[in-house]
Amino acid sequence: MVDRSFGDLSLAAWYDALNPWGPGDDFYLGYVTSARAVLDVGCGTGRLLRRAHADGHRGRLVGLDPAAAMLVQGRRHDGDVEWVLGDLRTRDWRAEFDLVVMTGHAFQVLLCDEELRAALRAVRRALRPGGRFVFETRNPGARAWRAWTPDRVHRATDADGRAVRVWHEVEGPVAGDRVTFTETYDCDTWPAPAVSRTTLRFLGPDALSAFLHEAGLAVVEQYGDWGRGPLTSTCPEIITVAEAYRQAYR
């Protein structure tokens, strides 16, 4: 096996095939198309921003991602999108955006309290007063990790007919709000499977609201699924729309 992640160019080329456009993308697209200036944090291949531009968005679209391989995929497509390599610790925007989004459960990679606080402060600084931050995190009450087992194999095929198989396996018993797991990718044309190891943090609604409030962001909408269903103890997602307080924030 080879240790890899989507920061690897060969795996980044598979990202969109393994994660096809779905209801979550439609949900975010509605917010993006109605905002003048948008920052997509952890944009990956930039599919959301590319779609918004293709659909007629003529404002500012900025994609931020720490993986150069992912941005390579975005730059291969036409479209007036700014691609920025880095993360919220290395980039500092001041009241430049009406909307900041974090899709694909990217919010869950913020593991420790100080890392999370720093990221949320950066989001607040990037937003104009009254701007919105939209993101989702898996609801810990749904215990999604119980389905991350090797017997559940996901398959995808690229334009050349090559198939890749993907499965997950949780490491050890789950304790607290963090879950560590491996993600294995295998293809018949590869010399060996590729494996990435990830830890995600599962925060509940009350903890999320407290962190957001501390950073100068107020929850204005929250849903339990992409159909805007109610937030319950066992719904699959915690989809949050937070608004930047209108007073100045440093």
One-letter amino acid at 69 equals A
> Which listed CATH number (3.40.50.150, 3.40.718.10, 3.40.50.2300, 3.30.70.360) goes with 2-139+202-244?
3.40.50.150
Parse the chain into domains and list their residue ranges.
2-139+202-244, 142-201
Q: Which residue has the tokens 């719904």?
A: 235
Q: Count Cβ atoms below 10 Å from residue 101 Cβ, excluding itself.
A: 26
Cβ–Cβ < 8 Å for 105, 142: no
pLDDT per position as a tens digit, 67-101: 999 999 889 876 789 999 999 999 999 999 999 99
* pLDDT tens per residue, range 115-163: 999 999 999 999 999 999 999 999 999 999 999 999 999 998 876 788 9
173 phi/psi in degrees, rounded to 5: -70, 145
Contact 156, 17 (CB under 8 A): yes
Helices (H), the chain: 9-12, 15-18, 23-33, 47-54, 68-75, 113-126, 205-214
Q: Model's pTM, two decimal places?
A: 0.93
Q: How many angstroms from the chain centroid is the CA of residue 180?
A: 17
Length of the chain: 250
Grade residue 5 by pLDDT with cuts at 50, 70 and 90. Answer: low
CA 153 to chain centre: 22
